[in-house]
């Protein structure tokens, strides 16, 4: 009986030893990639130093970290806005819409809707260029309908009254443009 127990203990120790040797987790195989000089350093690996400053590194204060975060946030916001503006400009350019000035009044001292050119044909449609855009007979410009296009002038109709506009003149009346009147002293 003693021999049987001793035999079982030795057998158990041998099984555990064999188990450890045979089923031991094997280390990962080393890289088969050939190391180049760029992959290895000429010096030994640098040890990490806990709590010590190395070189001229300086610990940041809380205020510096806040200022850095604020600066980075502002930079990201600026880049986002710039990207949004560029996308909007591209979208408008694809649609053919020109960027117009905002918030500026075109009434005072500005000659708007100026007749710049007339493209006149004996036969076929004639065109008038007003502020860089092409208009035909029947088109409406600022509430004024083009009635006729002649060689050197166009005839416009506004609320039943017809008036003649020559080259270089505005379709709008001078009172509408806000010309200044001189006072006699």
DSSP, collapsed to helix, strand or coil, labels residue 164 as strand
For residue 52, the 8-state DSSP code is -
Residue 87, Ramachandran bin (φ over 0: left; ψ between -120 and 50: alpha; else beta): alpha
Q: pLDDT per residue over 62-79, tens digit each? A: 899 999 999 999 999 999
Q: Model-level pTM?
A: 0.37
Q: Which CATH number fits domain 115-168: 2.70.98.20, 2.30.30.830, 1.10.443.10, 2.120.10.30?
A: 2.30.30.830
Query: What does the pLDDT look like over 83-132, one tens digit per residue?
Result: 999 999 888 888 775 555 555 555 444 567 888 999 888 778 889 999 88
Report the half-sphere exposure of 153 (CA within 13 A, side-chain side): 7
């Amino acid at each position: 009986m003693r021999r049987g127990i001793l035999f079982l203990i030795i057998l158990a120790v041998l099984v555990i030893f064999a188990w450890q040797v045979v089923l031991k987790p094997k280390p990962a195989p080393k890289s088969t990639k050939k190391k180049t000089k760029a992959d290895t350093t000429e010096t030994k690996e640098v040890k990490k130093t806990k709590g010590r400053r190395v070189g001229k590194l300086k610990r940041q204060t809380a205020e510096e970290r806040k200022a850095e975060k604020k600066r980075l946030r502002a930079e990201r916001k600026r880049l986002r806005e710039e990207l949004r503006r560029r996308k909007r400009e591209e979208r408008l350019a694809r649609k053919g819409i020109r960027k117009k000035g905002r918030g500026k009044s075109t009434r005072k001292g500005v000659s708007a809707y100026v007749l710049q050119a007339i493209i006149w044909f004996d036969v076929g449609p004639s065109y008038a260029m007003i502020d860089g855009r092409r208009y035909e007979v029947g088109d409406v410009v600022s509430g004024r309908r083009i009635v006729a296009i002649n060689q050197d002038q166009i005839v416009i109709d506004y609320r039943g009254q017809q008036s003649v506009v020559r080259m270089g003149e505005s379709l709008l009346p001078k009172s509408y443009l806000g010309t200044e009147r001189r006072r006699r002293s």
